[in-house]
Amino acid sequence: MKDYKINNLGFPRIGADRELKKALELFWSGSITEIELKSKSALLREQHWVIQQEAGVDLIPSNDFSYYDQVLDMICLLGCVPERFKEAGPVGLDTYFEMARGQHCCGSDLSEGTRALEMTKWFDSNYHYLVPELNETTEFSIRSTKIFDEYQEALDLGIKTKPVLIGPVTFLFLSKSFDGSDRFSLLEKLLPVYGEILQRLEQKGAEWIQLDEPIFSMDLDENTKRLLKKSYEYLSTQVSQTKLLVANYFGDLDSNLEEFVSLPVDGLHVDLVRGVKDVSTFFKSVDDTKLISLGVVNGRNIWKNNYTDTLEIIDQFKHLKNQLCLSPSCSLLHSPYSLRPEDDLDEELKSWLAFSEEKLQELQDLKLILSGKGNALLIANRELHESKKQNERLFNKQVRIASEESRGEEFLTRSPFKERIIQQNKSLKLPLLPTTTIGSFPQDKELRRQRALFKKGIINHEQYDSFIAGQIAKDVALQEKIGLDVLVHGEAERNDMVEYFGEKLEGFAFSKKAWVQSYGSRCVKPPILFGDVSRKVAMTVQWTQYAASLTTKPMKGMLTGPVTILQWSFVREDLSREEVTRQIALAIREETIDLEHAGIPIIQIDEPAIREGLPLRDQQKALYLKWAVDAFRLSAAGVQSSTQIHTHMCYSDFNEIMDSVGRMDADVISIEASRSDMELLEVFKEQCYPNEIGPGVYDIHSPRVPSVEEISLKIKSILDYVAIEQVWINPDCGLKTRGLVEVEAALQNMQLATESVRAGL
């Protein structure tokens, strides 16, 4: 009988009750000391190690904890702190957080010295990491002892851990060169520092070290493959007793299989949830001294593992002489903590779910089944999956028929843009450079308090609604006072742009504590999309109509697009993502049409998450973009040509998706642009993008109020790229997290700047 071990790649660090988030925020506001923050964090680490130990994990990770982000930790470990953070020697916590968050000195200009590092998405997930800033002269040296300290800390608790760090090639891949030099040329300088880190861990007695190289899931050119080979040839000579495990996750090895399998290391981790295609070829070429960690339990989703299917996958490895480990597909950082507090979820739905703690249990179950002692577990799991397949809650016949019948309707377009816009201009009568906002207005403490009271049942529907109505009236009055051209209702009734719609749609459920870290102390609690999606009731019509009744200016309706609802939810796996998105699109379309019938002349369908869903492999990108854009089009299909459709995307890298943006064919697209000096508009210019564009003229991520002159300059620089008839003026994104005072001042300046540019024409 083969003996399996259990390997874990990483555990959620934020805590069951988001203890780390709370401690960080108290520390930042000065309410607790650094010592208190550190001791609370140590307690969390201890709890997490003990949970894993008790769950029978053989290879327990350390250094997977982070005060903010694991890439930032690597920047400190490797000592490549950008020069503007003037600190030599060990990186202290103040500098660490300054790199993460910048210096927040309200109102005043953010000086160069305190600008935070850029943040961007971690592969195709909704986790954000801080981007290392490199240039030709960057030097590396160990400037943080965190990885060694945490190894020791666990050892002192009697737990021998496997330190985890990001591998050198993935680290360089995630970095950005700030002087245009080739960042991979730094590998020569980087490897000796990695070597030193490994040696120090070996001196401490580490048996295993995990190096994450998820770039193996991407298309790699020959040079990158060579660098990977070279790195591990070198690193494997740096330790003698300690063993190196290289981990790939988030995708298939595909054309990188040979290189991965032949790395001169002692262990390899493969993602068998997303990378099942590899299995048959993988084990043919692997040498039998290597430990193989089989990533069979999905670390990116919340559904219970299907043991029967998983055992079939494991079966293909069984005859190997290699030591095999059972493992989650990737770090559990991307899964919520535990199902235990979810007493509001119905038992049936709950029985379909597994969060991090339960995933560790699943690995134990699988191990027991493989040892021949867990037959009852296998049978129970099989029965659960069989009965789930037939469960009526997952199917809605009408939805299935509607979805089938809607094929092709995304092309039922209105007239071509050139004709539509003439009709729209006629009825909307907007000035040149129309001003508007992205949707949400500030949500203050009182609003959050009222919402909490309502959720707890302390105030009733009427009381809550009347509060919301009051808030909407205030937001509309503010926009009128400023003189904006196209108004919004302000989204006061929405806690979150996806949750709000999920709550009104059939097919969604909501957890109490299924938080997942998004960045730093920020967590998201994605809705659980478990069944066929349909619209129960109109979702936004009442509030939009009410807001429209308060003004003579055009009111813009505000919907979240189907791809964004998909991307920001935990999605069922028994139906293709394409099909799920189509169902959501049909539900949104009903709302779009109802808004039109209610007399709303402009409807914005936000799609900030389209780009984040882009697959890692080039080959799969086109297919994804096709159905994603189709879904967007479907959600807007069916309104008259005279109704103006807007969309909003909050990122600034359009290069890879420009064709798709064109195919979305929204009448107006607003984008984040203020931080890029408008050069991102180059691609819109190059492609002669024909529709209208609202490049954000100021950054809403900072409380700073931009001056009239500054915004005027921004507007003028837009006009270098886009014809004035095509341009809208708006901020970068929604204003929900900002304070009212700064929002009023900033929007007023935006309006004045627009008027001054108009006057100068």
In angstroms, give the least distance from the CB of 735 to ligand GLN: 7
Q: Which of 373, 378, 334, 339 is nearest to 355 (CA)?
A: 339
Q: Which of 607, 631, 646, 561 is nearest to 411 (CA)?
A: 631
Binding mask 378-397 for Zn ion (x = CB under 5 A): --------------------
CA torsion sign for 757, 758, 759, 761 is positive
Q: Is 547 a binder of Zn ion (CB under 5 A)? A: no
- 440 marked ligand binding residue: yes
Chain position carrying tokens 């790699």 = 220
433 binds, among ligand GLN, Zn ion, none (CB under 5 to 8 A by kind): none
| Sites of contact with ligand GLN (CB under 6 A) | 438-440, 491, 497, 558, 606, 608, 648, 650, 733-734, 736
Helix extents (H) in 268-327: 279-285, 307-315
Select 254 or 606, whichever has its Cβ closest to ligand GLN.
606
Q: Which of 243, 245, 188, 240 is nearest to 211 (CA)?
A: 245
In angstroms, give the least distance from the CB of 15 to ligand GLN: 26
- 19 marked ligand binding residue: yes
Chain position carrying tokens 């692997």 = 286
For residues 454 and 287, give the distance between their C-alpha atoms in angstroms, rounded to a whole number: 61
Please answer whether residues 356 and 11 qualify as being in contact, where contact means their C-beta atoms are separated by less than 8 angstroms.
Answer: yes
558 binds, among ligand GLN, Zn ion, none (CB under 5 to 8 A by kind): ligand GLN
- 24 marked ligand binding residue: no
In angstroms, give the least distance from the CB of 438 to ligand GLN: 4
Of residues 30-59, which lie at the interface with Zn ion (CB under 5 A)?
none
In angstroms, give the least distance from the CB of 456 to ligand GLN: 25
In angstroms, give the least distance from the CB of 672 to Zn ion: 6
Select 612 or 682, whichever has its Cβ closest to ligand GLN.
612
In angstroms, give the least distance from the CB of 437 to Zn ion: 11
Select 165 or 610, whichever has its Cβ closest to ligand GLN.
610
Q: Which of 733, 747, 750, 757 binds Zn ion (CB under 5 A)?
A: 733
DSSP of 446-467 = HHHHHHHHHHTTSS-HHHHHHH
- 638 marked ligand binding residue: no
Alpha carbon 544 to its chain's center: 29
- 648 marked ligand binding residue: yes
Q: Which of 370, 368, 236, 369 is nearest to 290 (CA)?
A: 236
- 300 marked ligand binding residue: no
Query: Of 247-255, 442-450, 481-489, 733-741, which segment contacts Zn ion by CB under 5 A?
Result: 733-741
Determine the size of the site formed for Zn ion (CB under 5 A).
Answer: 3
20 binds, among Zn ion, ligand GLN, none (CB under 5 to 8 A by kind): none
Nearest position to ligand GLN, beta carbon = 734
- 386 marked ligand binding residue: no
Q: Which one-letter DSSP state was computed for residue 120?
A: E
Please answer whether residues 529 and 302 qualify as being in contact, where contact means their C-beta atoms are separated by less than 8 angstroms.
Answer: no
Q: Which of 540, 547, 553, 605 is nearest to 435 (CA)?
A: 553
Chain position carrying tokens 């779910």 = 353
Nearest-5° Cα angle at 517, 511 to 523: 60
SS (H, E, C) 4-16: EEEECCCCCCCCC
In angstroms, give the least distance from the CB of 158 to Zn ion: 48
Q: Is 62 exposed, middle or buried (0-12, 13-18, 19+ CB in 10 A)?
A: buried
- 18 marked ligand binding residue: yes
- For residue 597, indicate whether it is catalytic: no
Select 356 or 670, whichever has its Cβ closest to ligand GLN.
670
Q: Which of 76, 218, 650, 747 binds Zn ion (CB under 5 A)?
A: 650
For residues 582 and 401, give the distance between their C-alpha atoms in angstroms, rounded to a whole number: 12
Phi, psi for residue 161 in degrees, rounded to 5: -110, 170
Residue 57 structure tokens: 């994990």
Select 365 or 606, whichever has its Cβ closest to ligand GLN.
606
Select 64 or 606, whichever has its Cβ closest to ligand GLN.
606
Query: Of 4-12, 555-563, 577-585, 646-654, which segment contacts Zn ion by CB under 5 A?
Result: 646-654
- 21 marked ligand binding residue: yes
Query: Of 142-150, 214-222, 400-408, 645-653, which segment contacts Zn ion by CB under 5 A?
Result: 645-653
In angstroms, give the least distance from the CB of 689 to ligand GLN: 20
In angstroms, give the least distance from the CB of 738 to Zn ion: 13
CB neighbours of 390 closer than 8 A, spacing ≥ 6? none
In angstroms, give the least distance from the CB of 10 to ligand GLN: 27
Residue 420 structure tokens: 């539509």
- 455 marked ligand binding residue: no
254 binds, among Zn ion, ligand GLN, none (CB under 5 to 8 A by kind): none
For residues 565 and 569, give the distance between their C-alpha atoms in angstroms, rounded to a whole number: 6
Q: Which of 727, 647, 722, 629 is nearest to 679 (CA)?
A: 722
Q: Is 497 a binder of Zn ion (CB under 5 A)? A: no
Q: Which of 586, 640, 584 is nearest to 609 (CA)?
A: 584
- 612 marked ligand binding residue: yes
Please answer whether residues 50 and 9 qualify as being in contact, where contact means their C-beta atoms are separated by less than 8 angstroms.
Answer: no
Assign 96 to helix, strand or coil.
helix
Select 434 or 439, whichever has its Cβ closest to ligand GLN.
439
CA torsion sign for 559, 562, 564, 569 is positive
692 binds, among ligand GLN, Zn ion, none (CB under 5 to 8 A by kind): none
Name the catalytic one among 319, 334, 489, 701: 701
- 672 marked ligand binding residue: yes
Select 415 or 737, whichever has its Cβ closest to ligand GLN.
737
- 20 marked ligand binding residue: yes
Helix extents (H) in 653-733: 658-664, 682-686, 708-719
β-bridge partners, 288: none
Alpha carbon 74 to its chain's center: 20
Element holding 165 (H helix, E strand): strand 161-166
Q: Which one-letter DSSP state was computed for residue 681?
A: G
Please answer whether residues 513 and 357 qualify as being in contact, where contact means their C-beta atoms are separated by less than 8 angstroms.
Answer: no
CB neighbours of 521 closer than 8 A, spacing ≥ 6? 20, 21, 24, 25, 68
Select 213 or 672, whichever has its Cβ closest to ligand GLN.
672
- 535 marked ligand binding residue: no
Select 66 or 670, whichever has its Cβ closest to Zn ion.
670
527 binds, among Zn ion, ligand GLN, none (CB under 5 to 8 A by kind): none
Binding mask 593-632 for Zn ion (x = CB under 5 A): ---------------x------------------------
Query: Of 395-403, 420-428, 696-704, 725-733, which segment contacts Zn ion by CB under 5 A?
Result: 725-733
Select 227 or 680, whichever has its Cβ closest to Zn ion.
680
In angstroms, give the least distance from the CB of 732 to Zn ion: 7
Residues forming the annotated binding site for Zn(2+)? 648, 650, 672, 733
Residues forming the annotated binding site for 5-methyltetrahydropteroyltri-L-glutamate? 18-21, 121, 522-523, 568, 612
Residues forming the annotated binding site? 18-21, 121, 438-440, 491, 522-523, 568, 606, 612, 648, 650, 672, 733
List the catalytic residues.
701
**Binding interface with Zn ion (CB under 5 A):** 608, 650, 733
Residues forming the annotated binding site for L-methionine? 438-440, 491, 606
Residues forming the annotated binding site for L-homocysteine? 438-440, 491, 606
